[in-house]
Structure formats: structure tokens, C-alpha cells
Amino acid sequence: MFLSLLGLALAADPAPSIPFEKYTLDNGLEVILSPDSRLPLVATDIWYHVGGGYELPGRSGFAHLFEHIMFQGSRNVPEDQFFPILEGAGATFVNGTTDFDRTNYLETVPSNQLELALWLESDRMGFLLDTLTQERLDNQRAVVRKERQQSTENVPYGVAEEQFYKMLFPAPHPYNGVVIGTHEDLQAASLDDVKTFFRTWYVPNNATLVICGDFDPAAVKPLVAKYFGSIPGGPEPVVTTQMAPPIPAEKRADLTDDVELPKLYMGWVTAPVFQAGDAELQLAGMVLADGKSSRLYRELVEKQQIAQSVRAYQYPLTYGSVFAVEVVGKPGQTPGKLEAEAWRVLESLRAAPPEQAELDRAWTSTKARVLRGLEELGGFGGKADTLDYYNHHTGDPGFLAKDFARYESATPAAVQKAFAESIRKDNRVVVSVVPAPKSEGGAK
């Protein structure tokens, strides 16, 4: 009953599936249609297959910069009117995000406003450069640089997290650092550099458009052709990113920051998304730190009471995923103590398989999170975004049931094997952060 309320078809197993139709325009734009008449709404979700992980040395932050520029106006959309136009039409969700592996743009609108959303997306895909001036570039560059200050430099542990990724992915690998880029690279970007980036990556044959919701496919197909079909495709973008190299020996960094509590990061470069070991490591992360019954929480937070919070997770990426453990200590605790006790818990999973009950809890939690997301047509983790995610990484928008099967088939022995092979002392990055000393007056 629960799954049928989501508008999902049920396979016999009973793994869920999202009904869809996929086709490609002559210019290379992939289109995925998924009708769902539960609500009089339609979500559009377009993924450009470019993110921070596709950038060249000296060009960090370009993908995220374009996320901002894409909302500033195009040939037929006045400056700064993208949001107001959609909000005036009753949109319930409008946003865009950039990750290492992709950039996406999402809108959820009333069904009768779908044509408006398609027009807006097509205008900025086809005609953004008509209005991209040096002034607009300078304006958005300043906005992004301020965002970097607010999200990385002036937030607790922000600089430590950036250092963590720099050590995990040494330059020139483009996962080096944070997606937002550096001040130096952003400031050095010329108008010609930025236009070249757009012409390379923001072409129909490097994008996938998902439309999910209350619409008639027979009526929508001509609209997609009308607004997107005349935009010329470009040369196939050349991806130069390579798989991240293995970490040959332990790397460590000890930092001081304007924070109140010590924090420990431990990280490993692990199996790429959807490759062997990825699902097992995601389950291992949940066994370690998902909820109050997890191992790290029970030992460090409840029993020893040396930690304020714990996290362990597999961050799946195309060119090398990250398995990370983060521990925020209680006042007066040292990173050395946090590391020793956290590693002791990790060693218990390296030494023996998890209990089946632990895996069952981890999988139940994962499945519930996915199904909750699929209750929504649009937004992050909604049905449209899920179709785009699977299409981007596997070429199959309907990969959901196969993804579920990865977790359901993971045995305790397989989880232990993947964890023990990947999570060792000799291939890890350790970053510790301690509070900066206070002056005599009490200020740091």
C-alpha cells in the first residue's frame, strides 16, 4: 500500500520502479518523461554532466560559478527575473546545485505552467551567452567569492574540510579542495575563459532533461522539440579526469581554528559509485554511525562520553569515492584520544562481520530515506532527481530496483571484506582540529 501511494510500480520482488520513457533529440539532448497524476504539479530537472570534478588546473569553481550565472538572465529573460517569473507562476520549488560530478537545475510548477518552465530552461541553455557581459561575470564572481568566505573560510571546521579533500585528492586531481573553487582561480577567470567553459559543457548533447508529474506525454513531446530541438549540439566534451590514485601512505594534518570543540576527520579513497564495494561501504558507514544503536555512537557518545557527535559515511563519486569518519569531541578531549577510540571501533568491524541485525537496520534506514524522497515529484532526491541520478551514473534511469538489489544482496561477510580491504591505517588521511588558544581577555 505504501509504495502504491507513491505512484510507483511494484515488481514481484517487490522492489520499486519509477515508470519512464527515455528518448534523445537530434541535437543529443536526452529526455526522460515520467507521468504521475497524483497532484496537479510537474517537476523539471535538468542535469548538465559537468561539475567540479571536470575542471582543469587553474579553473576551479567554474562549474559552480555557472550555477549562479544561469539564474541571471538570457536573451529573452530579463536580468534577475528567473526566480520572480517562476514564483509568480506558482512554482513551489526552484533551485540549482553543483557537485563534483554534475550541475542540476530544478523547478516544480503547476501543471499548466510546464511550458513556461521549458521555455526558461531552453532560453538559458541556448542563449545565455547573448547577455553574459563582463559586468555580470564580475557581479557573480563577487557573489561566489563571498559565498566561499561564508561557507568555507568563516564557518567552524570549513578550512579543515577543504584541507581534508586536498589531502585525499592531491592536485592536479579536480576533486582537490571544495567545489566552490579558490579565490585565485575565480579572480583569474576571463570572460573568454568562462564563455569557453559554457560552450564546452552547456550543450544539449551533454545534458539530460527529466519531466515528472501531471502531464500528457503526447502533448509534451512537441513542446520539448519546440523549445530545445533548435538548439545546436556541440562537439562531444572531452573528459580528462582520471580515477583518483590510491593513497600510498598515511597523511596527517593538525590544525587550529576558531572553534569551541575538537574535531577529528579520518578518510579513505574508496570504490567509485556503483562499483564493487560501494554499497557494502555505505552499509558499513551506517552500521558505524547511523542512529543511537550504531557502534560509534554507543561507544564514544553514550558509553565513554568523549564525543559530542559522530558520523561515518561513504560519499559515492565517479572518480573515487570517499569513506569518512568525523568525530566532534567534548570539551577538553584531545584528537588523539578521539582517534584511538574511534579506530578501536573501526577495528571491530575490520576483524569480524557485522551482525545481520545491524545490516538489516542499515538497509531499512536507507530504503526508508529513498522512499521518503520519492514521495516528492521534484526537489533533491525526488522522483525526477532520482531518474536523473541513475541515468547520469549508469545510463539507466530505471536502475532503482537494481540499486536496491545491491544492498539486499550484501552479506555480513561481504561488508567486512570490503571494509577491511579499504579501511586501513596505511592508506588514510587524518585531520585534527583543536580550538585556538584564548587570549588573557578571553577572546580568541
| Pairing of β 251-257 and β 263-270 | unpaired
Looking at the structure, do residues 158 and 22 belong to the same domain, yes or no?
yes
d(CA 362, CA 294): 9
Looking at the structure, do residues 207 and 276 belong to the same domain, yes or no?
no
Cell numbers given for 216? 500528457
- 1 is a domain residue: no
Over the stretch 4-21, which tens digit does the pLDDT of each residue have? 334 444 333 466 789 999
Query: Which residues, other chains included, contact 369 with Cβ-Cβ below 8 Å and sequence gap of 6+?
Result: none
The answer to whether 57 touches 177, Cβ cutoff 8 Å, is no
Looking at the structure, do residues 407 and 269 belong to the same domain, yes or no?
yes
The three-state secondary structure class of 95 is: strand
- 277 is a domain residue: yes
CB atoms within 10 A of CB 129: 16
Q: Residue 326 sits in a domain of what CATH number?
A: 3.30.830.10
The answer to whether 169 touches 176, Cβ cutoff 8 Å, is yes
What positions carry a catalytic annotation?
67
| Pairing of β 30-35 and β 207-213 | parallel
Range of the domain at 275: 251-435
d(CA 300, CA 305): 6
Looking at the structure, do residues 289 and 189 belong to the same domain, yes or no?
no
Looking at the structure, do residues 33 and 172 belong to the same domain, yes or no?
yes
CB atoms within 10 A of CB 10: 13
Looking at the structure, do residues 41 and 169 belong to the same domain, yes or no?
yes
The answer to whether 71 touches 190, Cβ cutoff 8 Å, is no
- 425 is a domain residue: yes
The separation between the first and the last C-alpha atoms of the chain, rounded to the nearest angstrom, is 57
The answer to whether 73 touches 62, Cβ cutoff 8 Å, is no
Looking at the structure, do residues 272 and 218 belong to the same domain, yes or no?
no
Look over the chain and give the mean of its residue pLDDT values, rounded to a whole number: 94
- 423 is a domain residue: yes
Which of 164, 193, 228 is the C-terminal boundary of a domain? 228
The answer to whether 429 touches 266, Cβ cutoff 8 Å, is yes
Looking at the structure, do residues 221 and 255 belong to the same domain, yes or no?
no
Q: What is the pLDDT along the chain (444 residues), one digit of tens a residue?
A: 233 334 444 333 466 789 999 999 999 999 999 999 999 999 999 999 999 999 999 999 999 999 999 999 999 999 999 999 999 999 999 999 999 999 999 999 999 999 999 999 999 999 999 999 999 999 999 999 999 999 999 999 999 999 999 999 999 999 999 999 999 999 998 999 999 999 999 999 999 999 999 999 999 999 999 999 999 999 999 999 999 999 999 999 999 999 999 999 999 999 999 999 999 999 999 999 999 999 999 999 999 999 999 999 999 999 999 999 999 999 999 999 999 999 999 999 999 999 999 999 999 999 999 999 999 999 999 999 999 999 999 999 999 999 999 999 999 999 999 999 999 999 999 999 999 987 654 444
- Listing from the earlier edge strand, what are the strands of the sheet with 21-24? 21-24, 30-35, 207-213, 41-48, 103-110, 93-98
Number of compact structural domains in the chain: 2
Whether the model pTM is above 0.85: yes
Looking at the structure, do residues 278 and 315 belong to the same domain, yes or no?
yes
